[in-house]
Amino acid sequence: MISRADLHLHTTASDGQLAPAELVELACARALEAIAITDHDTIAGVAEAQAAAHGRLLVLPGIELSAEDDGQDVHVLGYLLDAAAPSFQARLASFRDDRLTRAQRIVARLAALGCPIAWERVLALANGGAVGRPHIARALVEAGHVASMDEAFSRYLYTGGPAYVSRERLSPEAAVALIRGAGGAAVLAHPGLVAGYAPLVERLAAAGLDGVEVVHPKNPPDVRENLRALARRYDLVMTGGSDFHRPDEDILGGQTLPPGCVEALQARAAGRS
C-alpha cells in the first residue's frame, strides 16, 4: 500500500510555478511514492511529469475542474482519466479558449482602471500553460501597480472585483459527469472552502461522486471529521493533498493522507474502464 503521496499538485501547465519535471524532482526529494498532477482545467502537464518520473514514483493523471454552485466556486478533482476521450478533449479545448478570452478582457479592464500591463508579459508568465488570474496578478506586481499578488486580488481580481470577468463554468454535477465520462474518479476538492458542503456532498454522491478531499490545508480539524463521517455515509473515497503551487510554500508532501486512498481511486477508475 502506498503510504506517502500528495494528490493535489499544480504545475506551470496552469498556475503553478514549477514545471512538471521540476515538480517530480521535488517529490522524489521528499521521498513521495505517488503524486497526482491536478492542474486547472488542463492535463497538459501530465505526460511530462510521467516521463520525468522514470519509475521512481507513481504519477497519477489528474485535473481540477472549475465549477460554480449558487454563486460560489466549487472545484472537482478528476483522477486516472482517459485523456484521449473525444468529448473530454473537446470540453478542455473550450475551457482553454474561454480562459484566454477572459484573461484578455481582464487586462483590458485593468488598463481602463489605470493599471496597464502587457498582454505579452501575461502570456510569458503563463509559459505556454493555461492563462489565469495568478499570471495577471504577477504582471501587476512587476508593473508596480500593486506590492503583492494578494493585493492584486484584494483590489482588482477578486470575484466581483473591478477587473473581474466571469468565465464558463460547469455545475458540480456536470464536472462529475465529465470526469466519469472520461473513465476517471471524481473527488470534491477542499470542501472546507465551500459554504454548506454537507448538502453538496449528498447531492454529488447521488450524481456519482467518488470521493472527498478530507486532508487539505484549508480543511480545519472539525471539517475533516465531518468529511470522514460523510465519506462513510455515502461510501466515498477519502483523499488528500497539499494544493501545492509554489516551492516557497514548502508544503509538498506535508499532509498525511488517508491510508489506501491511491489504491481506492485506482479501483474506482478501473471499474469504469
Q: What number of other Cβ atoms are within 10 A of residue 220's Cβ? A: 11
pLDDT at 273: 62
Q: What number of other Cβ atoms are within 10 A of residue 180's Cβ? A: 20
- d(CA 107, CA 252) in angstroms, rounded, equals 32
pLDDT at 188: 98
- Residue ranges of the chain with pLDDT lower than 50? none
**Residue 18 · residue 267 · CB < 8 Å:** no
pLDDT at 87: 86
Q: Where are the domains of the chain?
A: 100-157
Residue that is written with C-alpha cell 473527488 in the block = 187
For the domain spanning 100-157, the CATH number is 1.10.150.650
* 3-class SS letters over the chain: CCCCEEEEECCCCCCCCCCHHHHHHHHHHCCCCEEEECCECCCCCHHHHHHHHCCCCEEEEEEEEEEEECCEEEEEEEECCCCCCHHHHHHHHHHHHHHHHHHHHHHHHHHHCCCCCCHHHHHHHHCCCCCCHHHHHHHHHHCCCCCCHHHHHHHHHCCCCCCCCCCCCECHHHHHHHHHHCCCEEEECCHHHCCCHHHHHHHHHHCCCCEEEEECCCCCHHHHHHHHHHHHHHCCEEEECCCECCHHHCCCCCCCCCCCHHHHHHHHHHCCC
Cell of 257: 493522507
Q: Is 248 exposed, middle or buried (0-12, 13-18, 19+ CB in 10 A)?
A: exposed
Q: What number of other Cβ atoms are within 10 A of residue 45's Cβ? A: 29
